[in-house]
A and B are shown apart, each in its own frame.
Chain A
Amino acid sequence: MGLKRTFHLLGSPPTVYRLAGLLGPWVGIGAVILIAAGTYGGLVLAPPDYLQGDGFRIIYVHVPSAYIGLMAYVLMAVAAAVGFIWHMKIAHAVAVSAAPVGASFTFLALVTGAVWGKPMWGTYWQWADARLVSELVLLFLYLGVMLLRASFDDRDKGDRVSAVLAVVGVVNVPIIHYSVEWWSTLHQGPTIAQLDTPSITMDMLVPLLTMIAGFTLCFAWLILKRVQAEILDRESRARWVEQLVTGASA
């Protein structure tokens, strides 16, 4: 009973719109505080790495963005599947909102990876690094979903067809990741430094976890905002949106 009711409430655009409006500021404040604390911890408190010096500090942006990039794809696929199966408009709105944000974080992870790679490997791009290559494929998958959706004039069809692609993609992400990993271990030259040193000290780890939490909240904040905008756009003919808009302007 309770669960079913929640599900129905989450299917109602005005409720979700208001809920997102209520949650948004708190999530945003949390994101700002955590990212500020993590930045201070990562740039000032954490000691320089004995091997990489201060260069390692880019992990405080790189790792959280890579994590968000992957998580956002899973979130998008789950939301798209829910929207596809139960014809739930809000779920499609979430999927639409997650795609560009996730793609941006994936892009950020690639760029920071390249910036990090220059002092560590001597090149901006290293094909032998499986994680970077997987992130690149992930970016392609995001672009595919976004382009496919944009090619349809009919929004409902675009939602549902791109939902199928998102689910196909999420099934393939682990296969691609592990095959790329297998491929890179075969070709890995002896010159490449092993960057994934297993032991990370507490004063480096705590700021990293703080940053990951901060990025997650930041992502949630962006999604809430985008979902609100998406709902207004999709429901622009509904009475409640009209009241909301005219009431706000009057």
Chain B
Amino acid sequence: MSVFTSMLERDLRLAMRRWSEFATPLIFFVIISSLFPFALSPEVAALRAAGTGVLWIAALLSSLLALDGLFRTDMDDGSMEQLILSPASLGLLVFAKICAHWLVSGLPLILIAPVLALSFYLPPESLPTLMFALLLATPTLSALAAIGAALTVGLRSGGTLIGLLVLPLTAPVLIFGTRATDMAVHGESALGPLYLLGALAAFSLSLAPLASAAAIRVSVE
């Protein structure tokens, strides 16, 4: 377990030193959400109807597209080879990196989401459910993103390709996430889709590290 914590600590420290890692996904999230009213209309009814979907799409894109560097820096400076050679399981190390990535890019997103939700006129009562749904959904997104990053780490640029590979897989998260938020907006209990989001998180967090590790091993060879 100490391998896990030291890996997590290392990645977090590296992220702290490059504050842009924190800021980029977050600002991306805010900008995408603010562009939607221009594309839709400034009317309250229109924004309220579209708000849930907008927030989820923005969260999805910002947590997926800002992760090209998840394994790339380690790959370029050679530390990935050290990680593979180390006696600890590569899957566990990848899991630590996913957790670090989530803490850096997923968590701030959850904290800023209520502000954006209010700007889309979502009722304040729905905000706890929205945050809780994001809390369950963003780990899944980070896990899927890790698979995408691992698959493309051997390529010179993976940016757009990652989106292409991973976005179709995020459909269930989007479905359950928007559904949970919508139910809360209409004052219903959103437990059903929240359970499903939790199940997806457990499933993807347990399998994604293994798939990512397999892909990294091939790319490093």
Contact = CB atoms under 8 A, between A and B. Distances in A.
Interface of A: 84, 137, 140-141, 143-144, 147-148, 151-152, 157, 160-162, 164-165, 167-169, 171-172, 175-176, 179-180, 182-183, 186
Interface stretch (B18-26, B110-118, B207-215): B207-215
B164 A144 contact: yes
A143 B200 CA distance: 24
29 contacts: A137-B168, A140-B167, A141-B169, A143-B164, A144-B164, A148-B152, A148-B165, A151-B152, A151-B155, A157-B219, A160-B218, A161-B151, A161-B154, A161-B218, A162-B151, A164-B150, A164-B151, A164-B218, A165-B147, A165-B151, A169-B169, A175-B172, A176-B171, A176-B172, A179-B172, A179-B175, A182-B175, A183-B175, A186-B179
- Most chain B CB inside 10 Å of its own CB: which residue of A141, A144, A160, A167: A144
A182 B176 CA distance: 9
Majority DSSP secondary structure for residues of B touching A:
helix
Given A164-B215, A179-B176, 16 more contacts: A140-B167, A143-B164, A144-B165, A147-B161, A151-B155, A157-B154, A157-B219, A161-B151, A161-B154, A168-B147, A172-B172, A176-B171, A179-B171, A179-B175, A180-B171, A183-B179
Nearest to A138: B168
Contacts of A151: 152, 155, 161
B169 A168 contact: yes
A137 B207 CA distance: 21
A74 B84 CA distance: 30
- Chain B interface residue bracket vs A: 20 to 34
Contacts of A141: 168-169
A157 B218 contact: yes
A139 to B, nearest CB: 9
Nearest to B178: A183
A137 to B, nearest CB: 5
Interface of B: 147, 150-152, 154-155, 161, 164-165, 167-169, 171-172, 175-176, 179, 196, 200, 203, 207, 211, 214-215, 218-219, 221
A175 B175 CA distance: 11
Contacts of A165: 147, 151, 165, 215
Interface centre among B168, B175, B215 (most CB of A within 10 A): B168
A179 B172 CA distance: 6
B171 A137 contact: yes
Contacts of B171: 137, 176, 179-180
Contact of B214 (A164, A175, A176, A179): A164
Contacts of B172: 172, 175-176, 179
If over half of A's interface residues share one DSSP class (helix, strand or loop), that class is named, otherwise mixed; here it is helix
A171 B169 CA distance: 10
A148 B214 CA distance: 15
B91 to A, nearest CB: 13
A187 to B, nearest CB: 10
A47 B111 CA distance: 61
A157 B221 contact: yes
Task: Please provide the 4 A-B residue pairs with the shortest distance between their CB atoms, ordered closest to farther.
Answer: A179-B172, A140-B168, A144-B165, A160-B218
A161 B217 CA distance: 9
A250 B133 CA distance: 69
B211 A148 contact: no
A63 B33 CA distance: 40
Nearest to B171: A176
B99 to A, nearest CB: 20
A215 B168 CA distance: 27
B169 A172 contact: yes
Given A164-B218, A182-B175, A183-B175, A152 B155 contact: yes
B175 A180 contact: yes
A161 B154 CA distance: 9
A157 B152 CA distance: 11
Nearest to A182: B175
A148 B151 contact: yes
A162 B151 CA distance: 8
Most buried by A among B152, B171, B179: B171
Contacts of B168: 137, 140-141, 144, 176
Contacts of A167: 211
Contacts of A143: 164
